[in-house]
Structure formats: C-alpha cells, structure tokens
Amino acid sequence: MPEINVSVEDSTDTEAIRAVVTAAFGRSDEADLVDVLRESSAYCSNISLVAHLDGDIVGYVMFAEVTLDKALEKEALVLAPLAVDPDYQRTGVGSRLVRVGLEIARGAGYELVFLHGDPDYYERFGFTSAIDAGFDNPFDMPDEGFQVCDLTGGTLGDVAGTLTYPEPFRT
Ligand SMILES: CC(C)(COP(=O)(O)OP(=O)(O)OC[C@H]1O[C@@H](n2cnc3c(N)ncnc32)[C@H](O)[C@@H]1OP(=O)(O)O)[C@@H](O)C(=O)NCCC(=O)NCCS
C-alpha cells in the first residue's frame, strides 16, 4: 500500500479539491461550500488538509472557526467537510486526515471541534454526543450526528450553549 501523505492545501490544489469533494458527495454543494469558506474569516489555512497518494489528491478536510454564545473566549472549530475520492474510500485516507487535523488543531490551541456526521465513524477519533455535553444543535439535522471532540480533555463540562457556525454554513 503506497503511503498517504497529508499536507496543508495550497492554491494549486483548488481544482483537484473541488473534484474530490464533488466525487465524494456526488454533488457540488460541499465543494461550493469549501470555496466560499476559503474566502471567509472562519478559514484556517493551517488545518485545511489534502491527502496525496502517488502524487494525486485523494482526500480533503477543512476545519473552520465557530463561536460559542456562552463562552466566546473558547477556541472552537467545525470539521467539515471530510471527503475521500470514492476510488480510495475505506483505505484509511479519511482517518489519516482527521487524526492529523485534530493534532494540528490541538497544537494551535483549539479546545473543541464540532461536526455533524455518523457517530459510528467519528467515535474512533474521540467524538462524543454534543447534545449530551449540553450544546444546542444549531441545524435541522439529527441530534445523533451532532458531535464534539474535547482536544484538551478538560473543556467539556465547563462549557455549553449554542454555536454560531460560519455564515456560509447558514445560507
Ligand atoms: C466518510 C469518509 C470521509 C470516510 O473516509 P474513508 O477514507 O473512506 O474512511 P477510512 O478508510 O478512514 O475508514 C476507516 C473505518 O471507518 C469505516 N467507515 C468508512 N466510512 C464510514 C461511514 N460512512 N460510516 C461508518 N463507518 C465508516 C470503515 O469501514 C473503516 O472501518 P474499520 O477500520 O473498522 O475497517 C468517506 O467515505 C467519504 O468521503 N464519504 C463521502 C462523503 C462523506 O460522507 N463525508 C463525511 C461527511 S460527515
């Protein structure tokens, strides 16, 4: 199995990222969201990651900043989207992107990472129910998928409330 290399995206990757995200989701909505988020103040250039395999981009993950109404000082992120080229799914690419992204986020001082996704997939990275932790689900999406990862191991329990996602998520 060739090695998966993960790096920060650069401007020459944009079209390949669009192709991967569109192929993974089978539509262009999420790729459009990526392009808009990249231009927004929520964008984190140091945690927008591409996975390369044999020189091709086969996966992508973006983390963007969110705010918490009752804890504005807390540094929090949303992980979205995570996308892997269908030809390379279930080969560890997505896991690698999530793990590297969470490490960079922790090192950069972020405390919490939220997402909406399949708990069966995300629990392996340390995500647990955000509802159980006391957060309000900001979207009309199933509560079961609303999850949070505590990067410090000591932030949950200390903070709850409502998230404000970056504007592109709300339009
Ligand atoms: C979901 C996705 C990102 C996972 O990436 P991936 O590279 O295929 O996943 P990995 O190879 O890292 O998977 C590791 C494990 O997760 C499991 N897994 C993969 N996709 C899963 C899913 N959707 N639900 C539950 N488990 C999943 C695999 O079976 C594997 O399990 P194992 O270690 O027990 O064998 C990828 O399938 C994808 O791009 N899907 C379409 C877009 C999407 O749904 N993105 C997520 C939005 S929240």
> Could you read off the pLDDT of 90-131 as tens digits, one per residue?
999 999 999 999 999 999 999 999 999 999 999 999 999 999
d(Cα 17, Cα 40) in Å, to the nearest integer? 17
For ligand 1, the distance from its centroid to the CA atom of residue 60, given in whole angstroms, is 13
Among the residue ranges 67-76, 85-94, 102-111, the one predicted with the least confidence is 67-76
Fold type of domain 4-162: Aminopeptidase (3.40.630)
Tell me the C-alpha to C-alpha distance, in Å, between residue 1 and each of 54, 85, 88: 10, 16, 11
Predicted confidence at residue 30, as pLDDT, reads 97
Cα of 109 from ligand 1 centre, angstroms: 27
- pLDDT value of residue 1: 66
Q: Which ligand 1 atom sits nearest the alpha carbon of residue 118?
A: 24
